[in-house]
Amino acid sequence: MTQTLYDKLWTSHVISEERDEHGDTTALIYIDRQMLHEVSSPQSFEGLRARGLAVRRRQTQLAVADHAVPTRHRDQPIADPLAREQVALLERNTTAAGVRYIPLTDGRHGIVHVIGPEQGFTLPGITLVCGDSHTSTHGAFGALAFGIGASEVECVLATQTLRQRRARNLRVRVSGALPASVAAKDVVLAIIGRLGASGAVGHTIEFCGSTIEAMSMAERMTVCNMSIEAGARSGLIAPDDRTYAWLEGRPMAPRGAQWEQALDHWRTLHSDDGAHFDRSVDIDAATLAPQVTWGTSPDQVLPIDGRVPDPAQAGSEASARKIARALDYMGLRPGTALQDVALDHVFIGSCTNSRIEDLRAAAAQLRGRRKAAHVKAIVVPGSAAVARQAEGEGLDKLFTAAGFEWRAPACSLCVAMNDDRLLPGERCASTSNRNFEGRQGVGARTHLVSPATAAASAIAGHLADPRRLDPA
């Protein structure tokens, strides 16, 4: 029987399965690995203690604090008492449970979804969970990876299993060469625009096609990262030689004979010819332009040369109301050219776009230029390893010469759970993944863009097309 990649990952982890009266399949599945962070794990450890349970397989867990972590003064204790306690609690909980914890001062520290792959903790063919919706990122390696809730985190700690409903298969095939200055972020924003924010609910997306195959691992992670913004809990890309080359020699990746054995298995991880997909979407890469969101949901997105939509021209009353509400929050008038929208902030960072390739793409726009005087711009590398690499390449100097602040790794302005946040009404071009109301601070306005578009916009002082900047 032919199988999709998702089918293979699912069936190889099923312990027991049952079908309900609607024909849906629910199974108890085995979870190979779990990542933990300070926001979604306190309740789970508390639950374990209340039940008198121990962690079942400690070596399959990896913990790091990232959300509440400040991006400045990292040589000092965290000033905010709440954040300090959140981080300290994760350290206490993991130490007491005997779970690996990466401290803030460790050279391997960083955003959970950046360091998992970096350390080779993320591997093809495994099930990987975390109490965090952007766990879909790890699907870029051909892992079945998805976000779970705090009670499920507790269940995995105690039992190494989860009860899950089997998803349907959605294939998103992107084909052809990408035009210049069109990035993986633009590809995934365009896909979300096409599918809608809940278009992929109940599905696992497999991204495939020549455009995806040509992408670096960093680009593939950007794409899978945002699967959840189309409503899919997991996004997948079949592993290939690029995946294996990227993983080989990583600290937690298998070695020697085990590596060879793993490779043999990993090479079977692809959708078979003729495998059944419940839905398919095809996208021609040549038609894509740099994208920017104008609203308060990631599917409210348009090419950068577009104009703010007019509710009066919406297809339905419900859609008109939705657009009007988003425009009201965003402080935008219908018909305004997106490139006339002035900015207060630019944020380059988050688990979507904070890897070395992202920083290089932003830096390429900045070389020899300076940000607009009224714009405050920060760069937050995704991990200490990314920061070291960037500093080795002189990118930190390039960013600071362009007027950006070079910060220490954390989630930062992606979610404003640390002390980086915008003021009400302030507007930001951001390389993160969510533009929800209040995401970057109460009343703050977020436009999601690629690193190149963010850098071009910092220079221009308004949303700008990275294709327009002449090379310096």
**Nearer CB in complex with ligand SF4: 113/270:** 113
**Nearer CB in complex with ligand IPM: 224/363:** 224
Total residues contacting ligand IPM (rule CB under 6 A)?
9
* Contacted entry of ligand SF4, ligand IPM, none for residue 147, CB cut-off 5 to 8 Å set by kind: ligand IPM
**Nearer CB in complex with ligand IPM: 147/303:** 147
Q: Is 415 a residue that touches ligand SF4 (CB under 6 A)?
A: yes
| Per-residue mark of binding to ligand SF4, 98-117 (x: CB under 6 A) | -------------xxx----
Residue type, 433: N
Residue 260, token pair as written in the block: 């060879």
Please answer whether residues 378 and 396 qualify as being in contact, where contact means their C-beta atoms are separated by less than 8 angstroms.
no
* Contacted entry of ligand SF4, ligand IPM, none for residue 350, CB cut-off 5 to 8 Å set by kind: ligand SF4
| Per-residue mark of binding to ligand SF4, 424-443 (x: CB under 6 A) | --------xx----------
**Nearer CB in complex with ligand SF4: 9/351:** 351
- Residues belonging to the binding site for [4Fe-4S] cluster are 351, 411, 414
Q: Tell me which of 350, 383, 440, 457 binds ligand SF4, using CB under 6 A.
A: 350
Q: Tell me how far, at minimum, the Cβ of 417 lies from ligand IPM, in Å.
A: 7
Residue closest to 291 by CA, chosen among 471, 465, 470: 465
| Per-residue mark of binding to ligand IPM, 409-438 (x: CB under 6 A) | ------x-----------------------
Q: Is 138 a residue that touches ligand SF4 (CB under 6 A)?
A: no
**Nearer CB in complex with ligand IPM: 137/365:** 137
Q: Which residues contact 64 (CB under 8 A, 6 or more apart)?
A: 35, 36, 37, 101, 102, 109, 110, 112, 115
Please answer whether residues 329 and 445 qualify as being in contact, where contact means their C-beta atoms are separated by less than 8 angstroms.
yes
**Piece in contact with ligand SF4 (CB under 6 A), picked from 6-14, 183-191, 244-252, 408-416:** 408-416
**Piece in contact with ligand SF4 (CB under 6 A), picked from 213-221, 370-378, 411-419, 446-454:** 411-419
* Contacted entry of ligand IPM, ligand SF4, none for residue 339, CB cut-off 5 to 8 Å set by kind: none
Q: Tell me which of 67, 166, 355, 447 binds ligand SF4, using CB under 6 A.
A: 67
CA dihedral defined by 386, 389, 395, 399, rounded to 10 degrees? 30
Q: Which residues contact 68 (CB under 8 A, 6 or more apart)?
A: 38, 39, 78, 80, 82, 83, 86, 87, 417, 418
Phi-psi region of 360 (alpha: psi -120 to 50; beta: other; left: phi over 0): alpha
Q: Tell me how far, at minimum, the Cβ of 113 lies from ligand SF4, in Å.
A: 6
What's the CA gap between 421 and 411, in Å, rounded?
Answer: 11
Q: Residue 189, class by beta-carbon neighbours within 10 Å (0-12 exposed, 13-18 middle, 19+ buried)?
A: buried
Q: Tell me which of 144, 351, 366, 449 binds ligand SF4, using CB under 6 A.
A: 351
Q: Which residues contact 472 (CB under 8 A, 6 or more apart)?
A: 367, 368, 369
| Residue 370: how many other CB atoms lie within 10 Å | 12
Q: Is 147 a residue that touches ligand IPM (CB under 6 A)?
A: yes
* Contacted entry of ligand SF4, ligand IPM, none for residue 39, CB cut-off 5 to 8 Å set by kind: ligand IPM
Q: Is 298 a residue that touches ligand IPM (CB under 6 A)?
A: no
Taking CB positions, which residue lies at the least distance from ligand IPM? Answer: 133
Q: Is 326 a residue that touches ligand IPM (CB under 6 A)?
A: no
What's the CA gap between 125 and 12, in Å, rounded?
Answer: 9
Rg (CA), the chain: 22
Q: Is 413 a residue that touches ligand SF4 (CB under 6 A)?
A: no
Angle, to 10 degrees, between the axis of helix 217-225 and the axis of helix 184-195?
Answer: 30
Q: Which residues contact 424 (CB under 8 A, 6 or more apart)?
A: 441, 442, 443, 444
Q: Tell me how far, at minimum, the Cβ of 55 lies from ligand IPM, in Å.
A: 20
DSSP 380-445: --SBHHHHHHHHHTTHHHHHHHTT-EE--SSSGGGTT-SS--PPTT-EEEESSS---TTTTSTT-E
Q: Tell me how far, at minimum, the Cβ of 146 lies from ligand IPM, in Å.
A: 11
Please answer whether residues 437 and 296 qualify as being in contact, where contact means their C-beta atoms are separated by less than 8 angstroms.
yes
What's the CA gap between 393 and 171, in Å, rounded?
Answer: 38
| Per-residue mark of binding to ligand IPM, 11-40 (x: CB under 6 A) | ----------------------------xx
Q: Tell me how far, at minimum, the Cβ of 39 lies from ligand IPM, in Å.
A: 4
Q: Tell me which of 3, 26, 133, 339 binds ligand IPM, using CB under 6 A.
A: 133
Angle, CA of 173, 178 and 179, to the nearest 5°:
145
Q: Is 132 a residue that touches ligand IPM (CB under 6 A)?
A: yes
Q: What is the 3-state secondary structure (H, E, C) of 363-392?
A: HHHHCCCCCCCCCEEEECCCEHHHHHHHHH
Return residues touching ligand IPM (CB under 6 A): 39-40, 67, 131-134, 147, 415
Return residues touching ligand SF4 (CB under 6 A): 66-67, 111-113, 132, 134, 350-351, 411, 414-415, 432-433
